[in-house]
Structure 1
Amino acid sequence: MSRETTGNTDEERGSTLGDIADETHGSDENPVIAKVEEKSTDSAIAVAGHPLHAMAVHFPIALMICTLGVDLIYWWGGDPFWLRVGLWSSGGTFVAGAGAAVVGTVELLAVPGIRARAASWAHGIAGMTLVAIAGANWGLRLADPQAVLPQGLALSVVGVLTTAIAGWHGGKLIFDHGIGLMVSPKD
């Protein structure tokens, strides 16, 4: 089958690609904003227009990384002080993560534009997995503070990796899909 019979000559493909480029780059409309506006992505839970989930995720992220850090310091030095810090850090991770997860779940289920995106579900599943890991990590420390090595350290490593996965998908929602962006009409 020749190119002429399929209608896919280089010239035809070039003009088609050029037309697409003109439509997306030559216009005043931002293609990301146009895609976002197809379905509502307005936050269901916001403070002064700022999505609460985006504000709430920073504490569990920081505390999960902190928990891994103090576990490594305890492993290296053996000072029992770091057991107490790890207990509080893992507890804070769980409590703050559960709060962020509740708000995120409400956003996922209540907002059609968020619910329609696969990255939202991947982010939600990774976030819920992270809350479960953080809960197990905290529960382990409550039951037996000495169990930090090796179980607590292993849970902290898996928790940080899961944090990275959840963060990656959360970033995709913001940067690729425009979720949570406050855009003025002149942008």
Structure 2
Amino acid sequence: MTQTPNVPPLIESDESDYRDSGVTSTVAIAAHPLHPLIVTFPITLLTTPAAADLAYWWTKDMFWAQVSIWLIGLGLASGIIAAITGMMDFLKIERVRKRSAGWAHMVLNVAALTLTIVNLIFRWGNTSGAILPLGLTLSIIVAVLLGLSGWYGAELVYRHKVAVIGYGDPNR
């Protein structure tokens, strides 16, 4: 029987994280953390422009070009709100800053929002003309970045128990 070499895990973990009750969110209403709730909007709004751009490419129907720019604009607005709540937790909860998942989550989200701004500016006044190829490419990259960021966000919540409740001492 062969032994598996001692390979470091792909996902960092600290055994002590599994024994405590978790770290509270610094932004909550009625003990419900807001960041995990709010992120559903920009994730949805900023991953679907790729599909709308593809639909425009295949049909050349202006409806899809208009849908895409609206999704990008609304996704950016909701993404800024989600970023504010997330940054408040990032700055105030030490456990987030101590984890590579916290840094990866933040960097990927900043990159996604920056590319979203570029995508919106590029399309402004040229809704359909800006879709191929740059608009579609940016939409796909943003969707991939948000998928990766969501992975790390889930790592923070489920593995490291960050923002699992909305009251108590956020500095644990």
The TM-score bracket by the shorter chain reads 0.7 to 0.9
Q: Does 1:64 align with 2:56?
A: no
Q: Does 1:153 align with 2:136?
A: yes
Give me the identity figure in percent. 32
Q: What is the alpha-carbon distance in structure 2 between the residues aligned to residue 125 and residue 79 of structure 1?
A: 35
Letter of the structure 2 residue corresponding to residue 133 of structure 1? L
Which residues of structure 2 form unaligned runs of 5+?
A: 1-14, 167-172
Letter of the structure 1 residue corresponding to residue 116 of structure 2? A
**Secondary structure of 2:110's partner?**
helix
The structure whose RCO (Cα within 8 Å, separation 6+) is larger is 2
Deviates more, 1:110-119 or 1:43-52: 110-119
Q: TM-score, normalised by structure 2?
A: 0.81
Displacement of 1:171: 0.9
Residue 180 (structure 1) aligns with? 163
Q: TM-score, normalised by structure 1?
A: 0.75
146, 149, 161: which one aligns with 1:166: 149
Q: 1:142 to 1:172 in 2, by over 3 A?
A: same
121, 125, 128: which one aligns with 1:139: 121
Residue 37 (structure 2) aligns with? 55
Letter of the structure 2 residue corresponding to residue 49 of structure 1? A
Matched pairs, number = 151
**Secondary structure of 2:124's partner?**
helix
Q: What is the alpha-carbon distance in structure 1 between the residues aligned to residue 126 and residue 66 of structure 2?
A: 12
Q: What is the alpha-carbon distance in structure 1 between the residues aligned to residue 19 and residue 125 of structure 2?
A: 50
**Structure with greater helix percent:** 1
Q: What is the alpha-carbon distance in structure 1 between the residues aligned to residue 19 and residue 40 of structure 2?
A: 25
Residue 93 (structure 1) aligns with? 75
Runs of 4+ in 1 over 3 A off after TM superposition: none
